[in-house]
Structure 1
Amino acid sequence: MRTSKLLAAVAVVELAAAGFATYKEIRSDTDNSDAITYYELDRSDTLFLYIQIIAGGDHQPLIEDFKTLARNYGSQNVSAIPRVRYGNDDGSVASEPADADLILEDVATWATVFSEVSGIIDIPVIQAGFLGLWGEWHSGHFCPEKGIYDTRENREVKKAIVDKLREVGPKVAMRYPQDHKALYDGDRGVTIHNDCIFNSGPKGYDGGTFPVEDRETWVSYTKEVASNNTYGGEPCDQASDSTFDWTDFAEVCGSNGLEAYIHEFEFSYLNPGNPPAFQQLFNDPSWADCVDDIGAALDSYL
């Protein structure tokens, strides 16, 4: 554990910083018994939790699995950062259905569920999810574009999702700064999550997070509304603009590497399971000092 048992117990009440967040997912129509069983986490007291639902399906079995997970991990002072996304019967991910009413019914259902586990497990932040592939607000029926370039109707659906999740209590994180500005201009009551941190190095575009045509404007806006504001996510190397070599551990751990980037943007949590090379670094004892420094950087922010 990153923190002492005393500090972890206080975190349940005070919604402390999350640090390293361990990846986990539970899915509809799947045996989630192993996923919901408590296992001690490595350098982590937070789950980076995907909840995959099937449009039009019966969510109750998955809700019960989630509540069991919440009891099992919450009793061990482990927090969870959840995101609900859509999937297919075979377990693969899917974009949202073309039915706004159905989506908003699902949002209301899960907002209620998250409220019901209050006091059982700490949820530092809820990622908005529901729209697009992986719940990342791209490549979906209601999110073909970002910000002002999307239709008014789509922006209304996006805002309705965030507003309903905000009723739960924790901060809600949106994927893209352009959507944040269009819907909550300058409001730190809503934060951001970045699913492609350091994708192309310290001056990159983070897999579309910062538009190529005006990177600095959106970097500045992101810092304004999200820095030291339960801001986090996961690194990646899968986006089309990826140029950073994650297998170069000396560069990842160097003076212009990931730790410096965390301090620049004031990230508070990070999934170390992606990309695979970063997971290898995380598990390599010869780089333990680097991992500890990255963890300490995350712990500097809320």
Structure 2
Amino acid sequence: MVHSYVRLDAYRTSLVPQTYIAQVTRGLEAARRAGLKVVLRFAYNFGFEADAPLDWVLRHIEQFQPVLRDYKDVILVLQAGFIGAWGEWHASTNGLTSLTNKQTILNALLAAMPTDRMVQLRYPGDLLALYPTPVDRNTAYNGSNQARVGHHNDCFLSGPDDTGTYNPISQKSAMQSYLDRMTEFTGVGGETCQVNPSQHRTDCPTALAEMRRFHWSYLNLTFYRPAIDRWRTEGCFDEIARRLGYRFRLVRAVVPEQVSRGERLQMSLEIANEGFATPFNPRPVQLVLRARGTQTVYTVALNSDPRRWTAGQTTTITVDAPLPANLPAGDYDLLLHLPDAVSGLSSRPEYAIRLANQNTWEASTGYNNLQTILKVQ
């Protein structure tokens, strides 16, 4: 994963030239070739400088809409951006931090993005103001605007209020309770920004507890480096690296020894999620039968959503699928495939999910070998 700013400093009150839009497009094409996903943010500065008037912000969003749609496959998530210093939704020079203007810009971003991609807001207070009731299991992933809004904290663990993240601090408890509920179903990430040893906010126990509570999927590895180094020194860095996002482990597969052609394959898989979060973009689940001799594959689509393989729990996937009557008899390896949902990436192994088990991953195919043989007769 990479974090990328699109800087619009030179175009605060003018249209973005097509040559610059083409440059952004080339960057996303390079990410696609390299097998990367991008956390994207548009900004008019990299510090406390001017942003743009509202009408120009909306025009710029409209200009980039085709790019956002054409390259959704490599855009992991869009940070709301555009407003204020660093595009972090504070210190606007054009009055963009009013709730009305924030909502206008957020709605424009959600309309510009494909409906299966999320936008992240910087401040929990904005989430509470815009969507007073947090998204839950019943409303998650339903395509509504609220279901597509996550959170990024760019001063994680930096002090009692995470340097203004929880503003006002008197409402921190309410904001955290809100995040506790909605982050199970939305994308969360960000970065640290300082170390406060006396407050113990950046120590390992606190970091692990809050990443688990708020379902963190990604974290800037290069900033703030002293905070990252503290986790290395205290010994939790490797655990954080393993558990950011999802970490799926096959607990067991219950598979019949044999099945007849034309009959139903009935089996189950138990998948433990030992990460802090789940995938927050759609992803199919496929069972692959691969003939041991010819290596011919037969794919069974499973009715399961990895976005609902809850962190800290084990999910049972039940398979009850008919086998074609003309399926050749013989021995088949069983494999689990979790490919990217976008057709252009679905066949690329580097975009498939790898299970945490040993000796299951096939780097050449993107399959997870269940180390089980099914006899078809």
Q: Do the structures match in fold with TM over 0.5? A: yes
Whether the aligned pair in 1 keeps the contact of 2:184 and 2:215 (CA below 8 Å) is: yes
* Unmatched 5+ stretches in structure 1: 1-45, 145-149, 238-242
Q: Does 1:112 align with 2:112?
A: no
* Counterparts of 2:126 and 2:172, CA distance in 1: 15
Task: Provide the residue aligned with 2:163 in structure 1.
Answer: 207
Higher strand share: 2
Residue 111 of structure 1 contacts residue 167 of structure 1 at CA under 8 Å; is this kept in 2? Answer: no
Aligned partner (choices 70, 73, 91) of residue 139 of structure 1: 91
In 1: Cα distance, 2:230 partner to 2:33 partner: 30
Separation of aligned partners in 2, 1:258 and 1:167: 33
Shift of 1:51: 1.1
Shift of 1:184: 3.1
Identity of aligned residues (%): 23
Normalized per residue, the structure richer in helix is 1
The list of structure 1 runs, each at least 4 consecutive aligned residues, that deviate by more than 4 angstroms after superposition, is 279-282
Aligned with 1:97: secondary structure? coil
Q: Distance in 1 between matches of 2:58 and 2:171?
A: 33
- Match of residue 296, structure 1, among 242, 246, 256: 242
Contiguous gaps of at least 5 residues in structure 2: 135-145, 246-274, 279-377
Give the CA deviation at 1:176: 1.3
Give me the whole-angstrom Cα distance separating, in 1, the residues matched to 2:147 and 2:99. 24
State the secondary structure of the residue aligned to 2:75: coil
CA deviations on 1:122-162 (whole Å, 9 max, x unpaired) are 21211111111111110112344xxxxx354x244334334
Change (3 A) 1:175 1:210: same
Summarize the Cα distance change of 1:92–1:233 in structure 2 as closer, same or farther, 3 Å threshold.
closer
Secondary structure of residue in 2 paired with 1:107: helix
Higher relative contact order (CA 8 A, sep 6+): 1
CA contact (8 A) 2:84 2:90 kept: yes
* Among candidates 10, 22, 25, match of residue 64 of structure 1: 22
Measured after TM superposition, the shift of residue 264 of structure 1 is 1.8
Tell me the matched-pair count.
Answer: 230
Deviation per CA, 1:187-209: give whole Å up to 9, x if none: 33311111111112xxx211222
Query: Hey, what does 1:231 align to over in structure 2?
Result: 188
* Distance of 1:159 and 1:143 partners within structure 2: 11
1:164 aligned to 2:120? no
- Asked if the contact 2:37–2:75 (Cα under 8 Å) also holds between the matched residues in 1, the reply is yes
CA–CA separation in structure 1 for the residues paired with 2:108 and 2:197: 36
Q: Deviations over 1:162-182 (max 9, x none)?
A: 433444641111111222222
- Which of 163, 166, 175 aligns to 1:218? It is 175
SS in 1 for 2:197: coil
Conserved? CA contact 1:188–1:226, under 8 Å: no
Query: Which one of 36, 44, 69 corresponds to residue 86 of structure 1?
Result: 44
Secondary structure of 2:152's match? strand
* Distance in structure 2 (CA, Å) of the matches to 1:227 and 1:62: 37
The structure 2 residue matched to 1:272, chosen from 212, 221, 238, is 221
AA at the equivalent of 1:109: Q
State how far apart, in whole Å, the 2-side matches of 1:183 and 1:67 are. 32
SS of alignment partner, residue 134 of structure 1: helix
Q: How far does residue 263 in structure 1 lie from its aligned partner after superposition?
A: 0.8
Shift of 1:70: 1.7
RMSD of equivalent CA atoms? 2.7
Q: Which residue is 2:6 aligned to? A: 51
SS at match of 2:120: strand
Q: Distance in 2 between matches of 1:57 and 1:189?
A: 28
The answer on whether the counterparts of 1:52 and 1:86 sit within 8 Å (CA) in structure 2 is: yes
Pair 183,232 (structure 1): closer, same or farther in 2 beyond 3 Å: same
Q: Which amino acid aligns with 1:118?
A: K
Helix, strand or coil for the counterpart of 1:235?
coil
Pairwise CA distance, 1:77: 1.4
Q: What residue in structure 2 maps to residue 40 of structure 1?
A: none
Distance in 1 of aligned mates of 2:23 and 2:48: 19
Residue 197 of structure 1 aligns with which residue? 156
Go from structure 1 to structure 2 and tell me whether the alpha carbon gap of 1:298 and 1:105 turns closer, same or farther (over 3 Å shift): same
CA contact (8 A) 2:188 2:217 kept: yes
Distance between the aligned counterparts of 2:79 and 2:151, measured in 1?
Answer: 8
Quote the offset at 1:213 in angstroms.
Answer: 1.4
1:142·1:157 contact (CA, 8 Å) conserved in 2? Answer: no
Match of 2:35 in 1: 77
